[in-house]
A and B are shown apart, each in its own frame.
Chain A
Amino acid sequence: MTESTGGIEVEEETAGRVKKFMFVNRKAPYGTIYALEGLEVVLISAAFDQDVSLAFVDDGVYELVKGQATKGIDVKNFSPTYRALEGYDIEKLYVDAESLKARGLTEENLIVPVEVLSNEEMADLMAGQDVVISF
């Protein structure tokens, strides 16, 4: 644990401080590394017992599309990791309804259960965070 968290004594340094962290995913997978390395931050954040939310907006919704098969491009398919987030107690996955609709997608196309939010709901949720890290 100390290696993955950068040698920080999680318990001592950040004890009792729970902030609202939102990771805003706005990039499609594979074309660039942002989605994958973003997911790595999300996994590490689980060690800090913070109030973590993930938002999928714009091309970020493509990260969650079912049926990704990356053998042909010889890149690791990291989409199953989104299904594993529950095991890290990261259960707040929010998808921007308009981004989904604009791409001809519905919840049925996604690899994990998510909460689909309207513009207003997403705007409120984002504005209510302590820390917003965007990829």
Chain B
Amino acid sequence: MLHIVNKSPYQTRNLESCLRLAKAGSAILLIEDGVYAATRDNIAAAGIKAAIGSVSVYALSPDVEARGVNNLLLDGVKLVDYGGFVDLVAEHANTQSWL
């Protein structure tokens, strides 16, 4: 399953719920304001670090770049462009958007 999170971890607890209900082997894609969760020392960083290993964590690079945080990314977060987003959707049987 591909989980998509689009909110800053400071604004909502969506990412926490996502991490709680994402099974091992699933993927999490951070898009829009969700990419702030992929930065070093942010409020969600510990949760993301703990999840990496059992789930794959991706961030949408155009959103990362738009927000100026490309130099602040956590180790282990993989960047994808919109084509990579499409591939992730195709590779997983279903998607859940944590709106």
Task: List the A side residues contacting B13 at CB < 8 Å.
Answer: 58
Min CB distance B33 to A, Å, is 17
Query: Across the interface, do A127 and B94 meet the contact criterion of CB distance under 8 Å?
Result: yes
Binary flags per residue of B5-22, CB closer than 8 Å to A gives 1, else 0: 000000001100100111
Binary flags per residue of A112-135, CB closer than 8 Å to B gives 1, else 0: 000000010011101101111011
Chain B's interface size range is: 10 to 19
State whether the Cβ of B80 lies closer than 8 Å to any Cβ in chain A.
Answer: no
Query: Across the interface, do B99 and A126 meet the contact criterion of CB distance under 8 Å?
Result: no
Residue of A34, A58, A127, A130 with most partner-chain B CB within 10 A: A127
State whether the Cβ of B23 lies closer than 8 Å to any Cβ in chain A.
Answer: yes
Q: CB within 8 Å of A: which residues of B?
A: 1, 13-14, 17, 20-23, 26, 93-99
Q: CB within 8 Å of B: which residues of A?
A: 24, 26, 34, 57-58, 96, 98-99, 119, 122-124, 126-127, 129-132, 134-135
